[in-house]
């Protein structure tokens, strides 16, 4: 068995701004496993927020022993982009070798298209109004907010897109006080949920708040070990494969979170269809799906995921799984 890792760069269709800066491209790692004439691929996006780089992720993968399996991988690498890429490649390899689809191997029902949120970049209110108007036909919009001026931006979005459901990503940019002050206005404007309003590691105040607007843990939730600290503070968790370290842990985290009474969102980084393909399986039947990354790219992989009026479709075998 041979594991190789490469870096792939995908340009974004437009500059994308969040509270931490602007992106013009997605830099991902692709893990390829070759064994017995079969090849599996998986992808991960190293995220600086978690002290990951393309180089550090590649070093982790190149340091794996030749006898590694998907099962042993869970203990050999920490959760993160490196493990997500290799875990995805193992699932793809198993599917190619068996002639079955990944969901059959995992004992999951046949997947169906899912309705995904579409993310609007953090801009001035006038620009966000224009973005919203251009996407007013979509059923669900995700709005990036952070710092001052959030209500003005959201009001502009509502003017541009009166009908879609709306969720908000605060990107750790609020305080407990700003949540309490903004929540009534957000509810008035039809916001259904806010993602990670307080910084991870400094979010205990959420346990004392009257959370009239449901709160979702993103940066505060990585894997099953995170759940104990989230009880009483969050109403929902956001599962991202680049945080869990791949599909294997993501499926386990979803089951554990639902058993614990959390609602579930499945999200993503800005990456290609190869990363999103396994996430579509986790997203079946969850409360919120945010897997729009391929729509934000100027170019994607061959056999890219299909988006149409029915939603985001599961992958074809040519892409993954």
Cα gap 17→54, rounded to integer Å: 21
Ranges of H-type helices in 111-226? 125-134, 150-160, 176-188
The catalytically annotated residue of 96, 142, 144, 243 is 144
In the annotation, is 240 catalytic?
yes
Helix (H) or strand (E) holding 38: strand 38-44
Q: Give CA–CA dist 27/119, Å, rounded.
A: 19
Q: Is 305 exposed, middle or buried (0-12, 13-18, 19+ CB in 10 A)?
A: buried
Unique residue bearing structure tokens 């009908």:
163
Active site residue 112: no
Instruction: Assign 194 to helix, strand or coil.
Output: strand
Q: How far apart are CA 311 and CA 114, in angstroms?
A: 5
For residue 122 the two structure tokens come to 């953090």
Measure Cα distances from 27 to 8, 63, 104, 125, 173 in Å: 6, 21, 31, 29, 25
Distance CA 193, CA 168 (A): 6
User: Given 96, 142, 233, 240, which residue is catalytic?
Assistant: 240
Rounded Cα gap, residues 67 and 49, in angstroms: 31
Give, as one character, the DSSP assignment of residue 315. P
> For tokens 């505060």, what's the residue?
220
What SS3 class is residue 90? helix
Contact 296, 119 (CB under 8 A): yes
**Active site members:** 144, 240
């Amino acid at each position: 068995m041979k594991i190789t890792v490469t870096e792939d760069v995908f340009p974004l269709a437009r500059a994308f701004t969040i509270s931490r800066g602007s992106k013009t491209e997605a830099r991902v790692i692709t893990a390829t496993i070759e064994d017995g004439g079969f090849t599996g691929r998986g992808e991960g996006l190293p995220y600086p927020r978690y002290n990951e780089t393309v180089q550090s992720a590649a070093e982790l993968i190149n340091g794996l022993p030749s006898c590694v399996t998907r099962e042993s991988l869970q203990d050999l690498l920490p959760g993160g982009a490196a493990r997500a890429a290799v875990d995805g490649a193992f699932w793809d390899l198993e599917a190619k070798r068996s002639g079955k689809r990944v969901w059959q191997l995992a004992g999951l029902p046949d997947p169906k298209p899912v309705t995904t949120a579409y993310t609007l970049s953090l801009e001035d209110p006038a620009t966000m109004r224009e973005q919203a108007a251009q996407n007013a036909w979509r059923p669900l919009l995700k709005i990036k907010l952070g710092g001052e001026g959030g209500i003005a931006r959201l009001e502009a979005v509502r003017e541009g897109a009166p009908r879609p459901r709306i969720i908000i990503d605060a990107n750790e940019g609020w305080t407990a006080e700003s949540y309490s002050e903004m929540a009534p206005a957000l509810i008035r404007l039809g916001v259904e949920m806010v993602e990670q309003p307080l910084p991870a590691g400094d979010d205990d105040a959420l346990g004392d708040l009257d959370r009239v607007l449901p709160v979702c843990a993103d940066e505060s939730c990585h894997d099953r070990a995170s759940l104990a600290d989230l009880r009483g503070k969050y109403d929902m968790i956001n599962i991202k494969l680049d945080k869990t370290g791949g599909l294997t842990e993501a499926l386990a985290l979803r089951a554990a979170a639902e058993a614990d009474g959390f609602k579930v969102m499945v999200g993503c980084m800005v990456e290609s269809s190869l990363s999103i393909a396994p996430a579509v399986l986790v997203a079946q039947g969850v409360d919120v799906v945010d897997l729009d990354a391929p729509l934000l790219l100027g170019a994607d992989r061959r056999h890219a995921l299909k988006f149409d009026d029915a939603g985001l479709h599961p992958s074809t075998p040519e892409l993954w799984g």
